[in-house]
Amino acid sequence: MMSIVFSMVHQRTDPPASAASAGPALPQSLRPVEQGDLLKIGAASYCVLSTPEAAANAGIVVGDRAILVVDTRLSPSLGADLKAAALEVAGDGERELLFVNTHAHGDHIFGNSQFAGLTGISTRFAQDALARDETWRRSIDSFSSRRPYLREQLEGAAQVAPTIGFDGTLVLDLGGVSVELVALGKAHTPGDLIVRVPSDNVVYTADLLYNGHWPVLTYGDYDTWMKWLDLLIADDQDYYVPGHGPGGGVEVVQTVRDSWSFLLEQARTGHEGAELAQALDASPYSDWLHRERIPGVLELLRERNV
């Protein structure tokens, strides 16, 4: 098996400089995949835009020597479909296949069984979490309670944890394509990372961006989350792939940042029940999914004196 060139650098406190851009990366729809669509978003970069039922999006980056898969989707069957798509877009030639888990939530890692025996990468925190049986058990129970059809698939799947954990920033040379994995600290979860492809001006943000979906803050930190959103806005890349919902330019990040400002305003004004519903209906986010999460997010914002 060929080996990737890995290099560790000190954690950045601001985004790395971008490569010169020839213009916005316009997504090209290649074909449907299981519960989603396969898009080409850069010369080396692709994403799977999942349906709401399939939950999290995923990414593919192709170099001359290796293919990097960013998250493995909600189930073993979706993971197998993603793996096939990655090999398809890579085309002819022998390449090493490896995967990244951006964090330890089930909708991003349940497809890991399809990548067993391959190099997997995550933050050190997520690697430790995914090495524990109780993490998988909680995730299986949580997702199966909302999607009962998943339980049989998930119960029978191998629990595959990443083989490499890191803090700071890890740079991968895929062969003509450099990829930067940046650990965020505690943002959406205590062990998040984003994936940057500077040559394509593409960023896979995972659940740092929920576009058209309300977020989950239970194990996260509001201040760190907002810091990274502000840095992504300043970075002004061509295409951001959210963890959930459609991607796009920096306007997608700004929309998500503004939605958090809206939530913070609701927390500080104490809106609940009918008042909260009225404010949501009058907001630019009236059609966003998962309104049921909002009361819990507002309660956490108040408890933490944000």
Report the CATH number that the domain containing residue 243 is assigned in CATH.
3.60.15.10
- Report yes or no on 299 lying in a domain: yes
Q: What is the pTM of this model?
A: 0.92
Task: Give domain status of residue 15, yes or no.
Answer: no
Asked if the structure places residue 13 within a domain, the reply is no
pLDDT at 306: 86
Domain residues for the domain of 113 are 25-303
Domain count, the chain: 1
- Kindly list the distances between the CA atom of residue 197 and the CA atoms of 55, 69, 302, in Å, as whole numbers in the listed order: 23, 13, 37
- Asked whether residue 210 is domain-assigned, the answer is yes
Give the tens place of pLDDT for each residue, 1-12. 345 555 654 333
Domain for residue 296, yes or no?
A: yes
pLDDT band per the 50, 70, 90 thresholds, residue 55: confident
Question: Which tens digit of pLDDT belongs to each residue from 192-203?
Answer: 999 999 999 999
18 domain-assigned? no
Closest CA to 58 of 69, 43, 45: 69
Q: Has residue 108 been placed in a domain?
A: yes
* 106-157 pLDDT tens trace: 999 999 999 999 999 999 999 999 999 999 999 999 999 999 999 999 988 8
**pLDDT above 80 for 79:** yes
Q: Say what the pLDDT of residue 6 is.
A: 57
